[in-house]
Structure 1
Amino acid sequence: MNLRHLVTGAALLILCIMVGCSLAEKRQEIPSPVTHHPLPKPIETSPTPLLGKSITIATGDISGVYFPLGQALASTYGQYGGAFTGTRITKASIENTRLVREKKAELGFATVDAIASEEHALSAEKQPLVPSQLCALTGLYFNYIHIAVTKKSGIHSLKDLTGKRIGMGPIGSGTELSAERILQAAHLTNDTQKHYFSFSQASQALRDGVIDAAIFSSGLPNPDVSSLANDVSLTLISVPESVITELQRQYPYYLKKSIPAKTYAHLQSDIETIAVKNVLITYRDLPTDIAYELTKDFYTYLPELYDAHLAAREIDADQAEKNIYLPLHPGAARYFEEKKQKQAN
C-alpha cells in the first residue's frame, strides 16, 4: 500500500469520525421525546375534525395513573378520530400545566391544586392580569392523598412523622405541592427530613428503609402502594380532622374523602384523607371544533379507558364540570350542553 492510499484512508476515517460526532451531538440536543403512537387501521366512519391532526398528551411518571390513561386516550383518538397522537412522560401536574400553556402539548392531566397554584403564581407575575391560557375539557377522577408507612415503623399518626424521613414526590410535582401543604397544616414543615422521589423510587426507598414514610397523590388504586401492600406489612395514616379543616380554609378545592379498606391488601379500616379533582386541560385557543371532538370522543369511548386503570371508572360526564377550577373550553361546553339537551328530551 503506497503513501497516497494511506493518506486517503486516513482522511476518510477522520471524516467519518467527524460526521459521527456531529450526529451524536445533534442527538444529544433533543429534549425528552414524545412517544408517537402508530396510527392503526382507521375505523370506517365519516371524517372528523381530528383526522390527520397532531395531538400530544402530557401524562406523568410511568408508575402513576396519568401514564396508562394517557396511553389509552392517545390510542382512542388515533383509532377513532384518525389523529396522529403522542404522549410525553413528565413530572405530572405542574409540568403538564406549563407544557399545555406553552402549546408543547394539546392535552395534559393535572390536579386542581396544581392548576390553581400555577395560575396564581402566573397572575402574580403579570401586571395587569391577563386571562388564563388554560381551559378544561373535562373533570376526571379524584386523587387521594396516601401517607404510607410500614407497620414496624411505629408511626401511627401524622404527628409521629416528627423527625422522620419522608418521600414527598418529585420536585415540582402535584404530589410535592399537596405533601408540603399537609405538613404545613400539621405544623411539621421544619421537623421532617424531606426526600424527593418518583412514586416507584419512593416505593423502593420505603421497602429498603431509606425513608420512614412516603406520600402519594393518586387515583385509586395506586400501583406502587398496591405492590407495597402485597410485599411488606404496610399501612396508611389518616389525615386528622383539624388538618383537613385548615387545608379547606386555605384551599377550598380539597375535599374530605376516604380510601376504602378494600382498596389495598391488609388495610383494617377506611382511611380518612383529602382528595382533589383531576382535570384534562387544554389551551384556550385550541380550535373549537377540535376541542368538541376531543371531548365527544373521550366520552363516547370512555369504556376503553377502563382497562388502562380502575380510576377511569370514577369518571362521570354528569360530574365533569364540578370542582375543576378552570372554565370549560367552548368546544367542551358545547358538547356538555348538547348532552344535557338530549337528556332533557
Structure 2
Amino acid sequence: MKNGALFIKAAVLFCFMAGCSFMNEQQEISKPATLIQRQLVSEGQDLKNRLLIIATGDMSGVYYSLGQRLSNMFEKYNGAVSGTQVTHASIENTELVSRHRAEIGFTSVDVLDLPETDKSKLRALTALYSNYVQIVTTKQNDIDSLEDLVGKRINVGTTGSGTRLMAERILLETDLPHDQLNLSYLSFSQSAEALQNGTIDAAFFSSGIPNNEIAFISRQTELSFIPIPKDIIEHLQEQYGVYTANEIPSDTYKGMKKSVQTISIKNVLVTYDEMSDQHAYNLVKTLYEHLPELQHTHPAASDISIEEATKQVPLEFHSGAMKYFSEQGIIENQ
C-alpha cells in the first residue's frame, strides 16, 4: 500500500515536470500539489504549464464528469497541467478554493451565503446549469409525500455537500417529528445502492438531471419521486432568495409517468480572489469558446450559456472573467 502511494505521488510530480495532465481521483494527490500551486497561478500571462486543480464532487455526479472534461479542455487548449479532485461537493469545494487547495470549484449558489463560506476570498468565474432536488424512493416503499417519511430511513447526503444542505432545509420546513427521522449521510453512489438493496427507504439528490445513479437504478428498480409542496417552495424562496420553482420532466428517468414538482438551484464555477486576471480570463474564454465539448459530456450542461453567465450569482465576479464577458457584450465595459 505504501509503495502504491509513493508511485502515485511520483507520477504526479513527473506529470508536472513533463507538462502532461493527470486526472486525480484521490484527494491526497492535491496535497503535494498545493505546495507549489500558489506561485504558479500568480505568475505569467497564460495557463501553459500551470498547475490547475478542479474541486468536483462524487464520482457519479455531474460536477465530476464536467470537471474532468474541463480539465481536458484546459490541457488541450491552454497547455495546463490539470487534474480533478473528488470531494463532498459544494461546501467542501468553496473551502478548498478559498484556502488555495484548488484553483476552481463547482458549487451551488445557496452555499455562498452560509456562515462558514468566506465570500471575501472567493470570486465567480461563470454561472453554470441548475441542480434539481430529487427525492427518490422505490415503489414498494409506498411513499408518496414528505409526510410519509415519518419513521423511514432517509439519506440526506454527505457532510459538505449541497445535497445535505438542501435536504435539511426542506425537512425543517415540514411538520415532521425530527426525532422520528432516521437519517444517513451517504454519497450518490452509496445512496443509490442502499435504495436498491432496501437499507434506506428514500434519498435526497441535488444534481443536474438526469443524475447518473438515479438513471442507472431506474432501469432495474421501479422508482417514485416525492414532490416538494408549493408552500415549502415559496417559503424557501422567501427565506433564501436563490431557489426556483421547477419540475423534473416526465421523460427524465425510466418509469416516470408525470413531471414532479421541485426546486432548482443555480450552480457556479468559483476561484479565489488572488488568481491573476489573465489566468481567470483564459479559463472563462476556453470554457465558452469550446462550450459544445462540455455540453456533450452531460445533458445538464446544455443549460450553460454565455447569456446567463452573470445571472443569479450572489458573489463578486473575478475581474478577469468580467473582462471576457465585456468583450462578448454580455455586460457593459467596466
- State whether residues 248 and 255 of structure 1, in contact with CA within 8 Å, keep that contact through their aligned partners in structure 2: yes
2:48 aligned partner: 51
Give the counterpart letter for 1:139 in structure 2: A
Partner of 1:14: none
1:325 partnered with 2:314: yes
* TM-score, structure 2 normalization: 0.86
**1:89 to 2:86 alignment:** yes
Q: Report 1:216-255 matches (<5 A).
A: 216-255=205-244
Other structure's SS at 2:169 match: helix
Count of aligned residue pairs for this structure pair: 305
Specify whether residues 82 and 257 from structure 1 end up closer, same or farther in structure 2 by C-alpha distance, changes over 3 A only.
same
The farther-off stretch of 138-147 and 50-59 is 50-59
Q: Is the 8 A contact 1:48 1:81 kept in 2?
A: no
Instruction: Tell me the CA shift for residue 173 of structure 1.
Output: 1.1
**Quick one: which amino acid aligns to residue 155 of structure 1?**
I
Structure 1 alignment gaps of length 5 or more: 1-19, 37-46, 124-130
Q: Is 1:107 matched with 2:113?
A: no
Corresponding residue of 1:203: 192
Question: Structure 1 CA distance, aligned partners of 2:261 and 2:139?
Answer: 18
The alignment status of 1:149 with 2:137, answered yes or no, reads: yes
Q: How far is the alpha carbon of 1:143 from its aligned partner?
A: 0.2
**1:342 deviation in Å?**
10
CA–CA distance in 2 between the matches of 1:160 and 1:110? 30
CA contact (8 A) 2:250 2:257 kept: yes
Answer whether contact 1:149 1:155 (CA < 8 A) is retained. yes
Structure 1 contact 229–235 (Cα < 8 Å) conserved: no
Task: Check conservation: 2:307, 2:330, Cα contact below 8 A.
Answer: no
Tell me if structure 1 keeps the 8 A contact 2:126–2:284: yes
Q: How far 1:31 sits from its partner (Å)?
A: 5.8
Alpha-carbon deviation of 1:121? 3.0
Give the Cα–Cα distance (whole angstroms) in 1 for the partners of residues 287 and 223 of structure 2: 36
Percent of paired sites with the same residue: 42
DSSP-derived class of the 1:290 partner: helix
SS at match of 2:219: helix
* 1:133 maps to 2:121: yes
Which consecutive residues of structure 2, in runs of 5 or more, have no partner in the other structure?
10-25, 34-43
Q: Tell me the secondary structure at the aligned position of residue 52 of structure 1.
A: coil
- The alignment partner of 1:194 has SS state of strand
CA RMSD of aligned residues (A): 2.6
Q: What letter matches 1:259 in structure 2?
A: I
Deviations 1:237-256 (A, max 9, x none): 11000111121121110111
- CA-to-partner distance for each residue in 1:86-143, whole Å, 9 max, x for gaps? 11011111110010000111101001112221xx3356xxxxxxx6100100000000
Structure 1 residue 307, shift from structure 2 partner: 2.6
Whole-angstrom CA distance in 2 between matches of 1:277 and 1:342: 19
What per-residue deviation string (whole Å, max 9, x for no partner) do you get for residues 11-45 of structure 1? xxxxxxxxx98x79989999622499xxxxxxxxx
Q: Which has the larger radius of gyration?
A: 1
State the TM-score, normalized to the length of structure 1.
Answer: 0.83
CA distance in 1 between partners of 2:200 and 2:75 (Å): 42
Structure 1 residue 159: deviation in Å? 1.0
Instruction: Name the aligned partner's letter for residue 164 of structure 1.
Output: K
In 2, distance between residues paired with 1:141 and 1:28?
33
Contact 2:53/2:85, CA 8 A, preserved across alignment: yes
Stretches of 4+ aligned residues off by more than 4 angstroms:
23-31, 341-344
Contact 2:95 2:117 in 1 (8 A): no
Q: Using a 3 Å threshold, how does the CA distance of structure 1 residues 84 and 254 change in structure 2: closer, same or farther? A: same
Corresponding residue for residue 68 of structure 1: 65
Residues 216-248 of structure 1, C-alpha deviation per residue, up to 9 Å, x if partnerless? 000011001111211101011110001111211
Offset of 1:48 from its aligned partner? 6.7
**Does the CA contact (< 8 Å) of 2:163 and 2:204 recur in 1?**
yes
> CA 1:31 to 1:274, structure 2 compared with 1: closer, same or farther past 3 Å?
closer
Deviation at 1:187, TM superposition (A): 2.9
Per-residue deviation, 1:186: 1.3
Question: Any conservation in 2 of the 1:169–1:197 contact (CA below 8 Å)?
Answer: yes
